[in-house]
Amino acid sequence: MKITGTIDFDKLRMIANENRKKVLDMVYFGGSGHVGGALSATDVITYLGECVIDYDSKERDKFLLSKGHAVPALYAELHHLGYIQDAELSTFREINSRLQGHTNLLHMPLTDITTGLLGQGLSYGVGMAFAKKLKKSRNTIFVMTGDGEMHEGQIWEALMQAGHYKLDNLVLIIDRNGLCSHQPVENVISIEPLRERLEAFGWNVKEINGHNMEEIHSCVSGLNAQYGKPKCIISHTVKGKGISFMENNGKWHRNIPNKDEYVAACKELSLAREGI
């Protein structure tokens, strides 16, 4: 992990705010994309990029964004870290752009995985974590899924396998924003009691406010002291976080703001930045 010394939480909040603006810009100017789920995941992705994943290291922790349609949040953070240039952000979802609508290992190796169909990322994570164990590597595999993604049967096969092999170098982060596409997750197929189910599969489970940098840091930085079980962070978030008319509104799973909505959203993010 990159974590060293004192963490400047206000700086992290500022970066997350900037990343939300980039997410909005990519979706608005690109005319395509999933803004709601990207905004709910922004704080955790920002924290991991700033404090945990050392993208300059050849042998490093990995971050697999299984809910790959939230990739604008990851591109925004990679841009902040200097791996994506300013002009490239405007190519989001264009043909032949590196910045495709889901993570693509061929175009962007730093994203660590190619995604598309939901439910596959955790299986990749289990394989990577098992390989790291065989190589006696001390690196960690982080996988982020959506809570609606927990409906996929492949997820539960991977949960069972990770528990069986006691993959304590695997961290699953569930972006628990409560919405599956446009509908409440619990109305589609209930996944509760989620924590108890995960624990029954042999996982060490923590729950946090996924928009609170202090809670994110406290949880993630304490993971290395936990052994013998794979680890899960249930990150309680708000879909569309940071833009009031998008928050908890299924319409913004995949919807493109018009000009007036874009201007209003920019104003809210600017006011939030001033308040940090």
Can you tell me the mean pLDDT for 202-216? Answer: 98
For the chain, the structural domain boundaries read 9-275
Distance CA(232)–CA(56), nearest Å, equals 26
CATH 1.10.10.60 fits 9-275, yes or no: no
Whole-number percent of the chain with pLDDT over 90: 95
Kindly report, residue by residue over 56-104, the tens digit of the pLDDT.
998 999 999 999 999 999 999 999 999 999 999 999 999 999 999 999 9
pLDDT at residue 271, as a whole number: 97
Question: Which residues fall within 8 angstroms of residue 114, CB to CB, at 6 or more apart?
Answer: 102, 103, 104, 105, 106
In this predicted structure, what is the pLDDT of residue 3?
66
pLDDT score recorded for residue 78: 98
Tell whether the model's pLDDT for residue 159 goes beyond 80: yes
The confidence band for 4, taking pLDDT boundaries of 50, 70 and 90, is low
* Whether the predicted model's global pTM rises above the 0.85 cut: yes
CB 131 within 8 A of CB 159: no
Return the pLDDT at 119: 95
Largest Cα–Cα distance of the chain, in whole Å? 54
Looking at residues 171-189, what average pLDDT do you find? 96
- Residue whose pair of structure tokens reads 């939030």 in the numeric block: 272
What is the spatial order of strands in the sheet that 204-209 belongs to? 62-65, 141-146, 170-176, 231-236, 204-209
pLDDT digits (tens, 9 = 90+) for 101-132: 999 999 999 999 999 889 999 999 999 999 99
